[in-house]
Each structure stands twice: as structure tokens, then as C-alpha cells.
Structure 1
Amino acid sequence: MFFLKFTKKENLIVLKLTNYEGHFKIEPLYPGWGVTIGNTLRRVLLSSLEGYAIYSVKIEGVDHEFATIKGVKEDMTEIILNLKKIRFKKKMEQMEKEEDPGEKFNIIINNEKEEITAGDLGEYIHLFEIINPDLIILNKNKFISLNITIVIKKGIGYVPSEENEKHINTEHINTEHINTEHINTEHINTEHINTEDGTISMDSIFTPIKNVKYTIENCSVSKNSTYERLFLEIKTDGTINPKDALIKASNLVIRHFKLLSNKKISLNYNKKYKKKKPTNENYFKLRNLLNSSLERKNLSVRTLNCLKKAKILTWGDLIKSNTTNLLNFKYLGKKSLEELDLIMKKLTIYYGMNLEDYNKNKNKNKKKNKKKNKKNI
């Protein structure tokens, strides 16, 4: 069978491989499988691979993200944008250790350098390797010193600052002189937790994948040219090798499909389960309308008086009539009928409307109320 041939190692060929870019060729594929595999891998690569990013930042003397820092060219917003671009890679010796909720690092910059780069911060971030050390974070005066605290976390995809702000722990509150045992964390306002001690939540770009492209070409197998060849291009930020990224994404897909390939799949069928009929909101609206008085819809006095004489008091009474019957009533002329037609169109009701379902439900409710009254007696 063709699918047995697909399991050979020669099916995947590496055309180009660097720390930042990888080009791969997969062939032969059964007709239609190029899109299936290419699109699946692309979506998983872009959305589901883990990475590291700064979760929150605190600079001593800065209260909020729009503040300016004396002796620093950039304001806090620009500094945050630059910090967001730093790409982190966990050092090999730390890989096997258990992950903490977040790695906190205190960085003290008291050198005479005017241009501070990501590499200068990296001297204090001993658990991680910074892939882009030349990235400029800020420009300052020579004799200005800065005390920066950052928290680096592991995550997936992109997480906005608002989401990170919700999960800032009470650790970020300055608890050096506070007995935290007696603090009721339920009453802490997490919306403003980042401004009380200067801890500012940031947008976190965890995904290590920058871009994924795939193209499909026809290829021939045993003189059959309907088979397909898949070309896959993967660009990363350098924190993961493109080949490793492809392997991780493939394993993620395999693990999820293994859940469906298990022969011992058990069907949890509950006999007592019955589908509930969806509640019809239109029915309740119609019921309230039919029972409501005609006076509520601002009908003219002349039309109302004529309808009252004919013992038509509600909209339910009106739709049971027709135009020929109404014309027989005194003083109800064409203008009054036109007035009624306009309002009835707005209310989506009409003469001779079928009220069988309404009456059935009405009778059911009456019976239920009678039973309840008997029980109460």
C-alpha cells in the first residue's frame, strides 16, 4: 500500500537549516494530503509551541507605564516595547529542573554606559540565554543608576497585558514589612495591583515561531503524477531550531490523534439524558403582547373607542378579527385600518394569525398552576 511507503525516512528532506530558518520537503503525499499536513503543521507551529517572555517589569521610582524617568531618554512605554522584543532561551542545565510560576530577576545598572542593551540585562539573568543581546533597551545619562526587576515566564502564543495583570501574584506586592498571613487576598483589587508598588504587567510574546509558509507541487510515483510534494518554510526567533520546532509540532498532533485511535474508546451514554427543547423567546414575547392592552401602542382615541365598543380590548382579540368585520363597525374607517396595519407590521402580527401553539402552552400552564394550588391546599 502507498501509506506504508510514506513511513520511510526519505520522505522528509532538509533543504536548508539554520538557527533561524528551515526549509523542508515532504514527498510523496497522497492527493489532498499536502494541504491537510501543511495547514495542520502551520497552525500548530504558530499557536502551540512554548517559549519564554517577560511577564512583568518594575523600575524603582516609576509608578505607572506612562511615566518618564529622570536622566533616561525613553519613557516607560518605549522601554516596555523594547523589553517585549527580548528573546529568551532556557539554559540546558536548567531544562530538567521543575518550572517555577515565574523566574524573578533583580537588575542593578550603575555603570557609566549611556546605551543599555539586552546583553547588559543578561548578566543578571543567569538562568536564560538572551538571543538578541544587541537590542537597545534604553539610553541614559552616564551617572544615572537604575534598579529593574523583571519576571520571566513560560507560556504559549501571545498573552496581552490585561490578561497578565489578572494573574499577578501577591508576591509582586512589597511584603518585606507586612505579615502576609493576615492579608485577605480576596479583597485585593487586581485591576490596580500593578500601580501600587510599580509592578507593570506587559504583553508577552511567548511563541518562538515568526512565520510559516507552505507550498504544494505535483510529483509522480510509478508514472502517476497525481501525488503531491509539500515544501515547508519555518522561521524562528532563534530560541528554537526550526527542525526541533517541526518535530515538536508533529508530536503534538500525533498525541492528540492518539486519543481518537485508541481501540478501547468507551461511549458514555446516559439513557436518562434527554435533549431539552430550546426555549422559544419569540413565544414569550408574543404571549405578553397578545395579553397587553391596545392602549399601550399609542393608537388614536377614535380608533381605541371604536375597538372598545366592539369589545376588542387586547391585541389577541384584534388578530382574531379581519378587515371585513372591522369595516362593519361604526366610525372605524380606512384611516383607522391603515393605522392598525402599520402598527401590526412593526409588531410582526397579522389578522387570522395561527395561535394553536400559544393556546396549547397556555392550557399546559393552567393545568400546572391548578396542580400546584391543589398541593398547597
Structure 2
Amino acid sequence: MLLTLIIRSVQVIKVQEPNYKFERTGEDNPFFGSFVFEPLERGFGLTLGNSLRRVLLSAMPGVAISAVRIKGVMHEYSFMSGVQEDVLEILMNLKSVVLTTTEESPEPVVLTLSKKGVGPITGADIEEASGITVVNKEVHICEITDEDIEIMMEFDIKVGRGYDRNWKGNGNESLDTMFVDGHFTPVQKVSYKVSDARVGQDINYDKLILDIETNGAMLPEEVLKFSSKMLREYYNFLTNIEVDVPRLSHDFQLEGSQEENVESNDDITIKDLEFSVRSRNCLEIGNIKTLGQLADISIEELMQIKNFGKKSLTEIREKLSQYGLKLKDDREG
């Protein structure tokens, strides 16, 4: 039952909208993206990073092979003459097949594979249908070693979210049906890092770096947008809770962009940071006054400064890491 909210007066808490930057790094992996959000109110970097990571890893939608039938095979512990892999290994390889859909297809969808003669069988040999396509056509399924052998397979395709290892069919499958764990999520890896951000001379803000890698069924920006929508819908549900509050009520909103107020961490002065006395004196001797100057120095140049040693080098690396920076040699290495 919903309670009634009596609002006598409302105080609106306004927070500047953070800036957003997206980079698709690595030419060899087009399905990796790095998202940067700054500045965030202190503590919200961890709040957003952790909640998004949990949703991305556990709740993303997708399509996957849920069951397999191989002609002449009754169970997964069988061996096939003229085939290099046993059936269990073939099923494991099929878990690596990445599928995507270009249209809304009614379940169940069945894909087929048929091949005869010596040679490898890959994802490219799966006959696509009903808008279901194979993303990684190069993925290895098995190897035929006898030219007289013909392999025929059927794949049941299921729509799901996250990971499902409990699917055992609906009871109408034939006895030779072998079930496969459903790897529906297109997200392979998610990591986040929270460091300090600066607005003017105030460094009491968070910077969130969120790295997302997918299997190609969806792009990193797609899964981030979808996960954000899921969280938003749940939070919208919570805002509908009504309660009788005969006192000052509060509201919250983001407003505008503060791009003009955000300064690069490169401009943070060494004297504003907490360094050990030895490290601070060494940096003063080297006439290094900002983090940007420090990040452009090589390790060899630092080690030439009087009294600068390995402990100071470790401390400087840790401090730069807190602000999303690295030494020149660490970036090039």
C-alpha cells in the first residue's frame, strides 16, 4: 500500500552534471571501451562503478546455444569415429560461439550445421536463420580427420540474460538432446577505478574510469546504456514510495555541464599533495612543480636526482596512479 506524501516545502539540492568521455582503445580489440566520468560528488565514483559492474556482469541480455543434437550421438560422453575431439570437448567449444540477433525471433529457433570431409569445422559452418547470426565465425568447433565422415548438428537457440546453468529444457526434447550452459551475457570483463578529480583548487571529487570488454554481440557503449536503464527503472520505482512528511522535503537534480570548471590533473601542484619529506625535497631539487611535469619525466632522469631511490620511485608511481597518470617510461612500456 502506498502512503501519502504531504509536501510543505521542498529544498532542491543541485549538483553539476559530470563530464563524460569514451575511448575505444586497442585496434586489435574493437569491443573494448574505456569510459571516464568526472567530476563526481565524493563517494559516487565507488557507488556508480560498483552498481554498474554488478548489473553488467549479471543481467545483460543475449542469445546463446542452449542445447545440441549430433547425429549418431546419444550423450556427451561419446566418441565419434573420424573426429579429433570427443563430444564433451565439442560441447565446450560450442560455448564459445557468440551469437547475436538482428530481429526479434520467436522461440524456439533451431540452427543447423552439416559438413563432410577432412578439415576443421568452425562457426562459419553454422547455417544462420531467423535473424540469428554468428559473430565469431572463426571459432573452432571440431576437426574431421576422415574424408568419409559427415557431421550433422542441430542447435537450439535460447534468449536469456546473464549466465544460466540450470536450463534443462521444457520436457519435449528428444533423448539425444544435450544441454549446454547458457552464456547469454555479451560482457566478458568489467573493471573500474576511482581516483581524485579536481574542480578549481578543490580536489574533493571523484573520477570514475569504467573499462568494459564485450564478446562482439553488443558494443561497450550499448551494454553501458542498457545497464544504466535497468538501474534507472529500479530507482524510479523506489522514488514512488510515498510517506507523510509534515516537514521540509528534499529533491535532487543534476544541472548543466561543468566542463569549463574542470581542470586537468596535470596542473595539480606537488606542494598540494602528500609526499614524504625525501620525495618532496627530491622533486624540488629537480624543479618538478606539477603532476604533469612529473608524468613527463623518465625514470632515468628521476634516479639522477640526489637522494632519489626506489622507495621514492614507488611512492611517485602510486601517487600518479591515484590521479590516472603514469610516468613516461610506464606509458611507453
What is the TM-score when the length of structure 2 is the normalising length?
Answer: 0.65
Q: Would you say 1:136 and 2:140 are equivalent positions?
A: yes
- Which residue number corresponds to residue 164 of structure 2? 159
RMSD: 2.0
C-alpha contact 2:63 2:100 (8 A) present in aligned 1? yes
Partner residue of 1:249?
Answer: 227
Following superposition, the deviation at residue 231 of structure 1 comes to 0.6
Inter-partner Cα distance in structure 1 for 2:195 and 2:13:
18
Within the alignment, does 1:56 sit opposite 2:67 as a pair?
A: yes
Q: Is the 8 A contact 1:58 1:148 kept in 2?
A: yes
1:210 maps to a residue whose letter is Q
Amino acid of the residue matched to residue 125 of structure 2?
D
Q: Which residue of 200, 203, 212 maps to 1:225?
A: 203
Specify every segment of 5 or more residues in structure 2 that has no aligned partner in the other structure, as ranges.
Answer: 1-11, 245-333
Query: Which residue is 1:146 aligned to?
Result: 151
Letter of the structure 2 residue corresponding to residue 107 of structure 1: L
Distance 1:265 1:236, change over 3 A: farther
Q: Secondary structure in 1 aligned to 2:24?
A: strand
TM-score with structure 1 length normalisation? 0.57
In the aligned structure 1, how far is the partner of 2:72 from the partner of 2:243? 59
Identity %, equivalent residues:
29
Please state whether the residue corresponding to 2:211 is helix, strand or coil: strand
Which AA in structure 2 matches 1:164? W
Structure with more of its chain in strand, by fraction: 2
Unaligned runs of 5+ in 1: 174-196, 267-377
| Equivalences, count | 229
Match of 2:23 among 9, 15, 34: 15
Equivalent position amino acid for 2:149 in 1: I
The equivalent position to 2:94 in structure 1, one of 53, 69, 83, is 83
SS in 2 for 1:155: strand
C-alpha contact 1:19 1:236 (8 A) present in aligned 2: no
* Greater relative contact order (Cα < 8 A, sep 6+): 2
SS at match of 1:38: helix
CA separation in 1, counterparts of 2:184 and 2:95?
10
Q: Distance in 2 between matches of 1:218 and 1:168?
A: 52
- Residue by residue, what CA displacement relative to the aligned partner does 1:23-44 show, whole Å, maximum 9, x if unpaired? 0110110011110001011111
Matched AA of 1:47: S
Structure-2 separation of matches of 1:263 and 1:28: 30
Partner of 2:170 in structure 1?
A: 168
Aligned-pair distance for 1:113? 4.5
Matches within 5 A, 1:205-220: 205-220=183-198
Name the structure where helix makes up a greater proportion of residues: 1
Q: 1:238 to 1:35 in 2, by over 3 A?
A: same
C-alpha distance in structure 1 between counterparts of 2:241 and 2:78, whole Å: 60
Q: Verify the 8 A CA contact 1:86 1:135 in the aligned structure 2.
A: yes
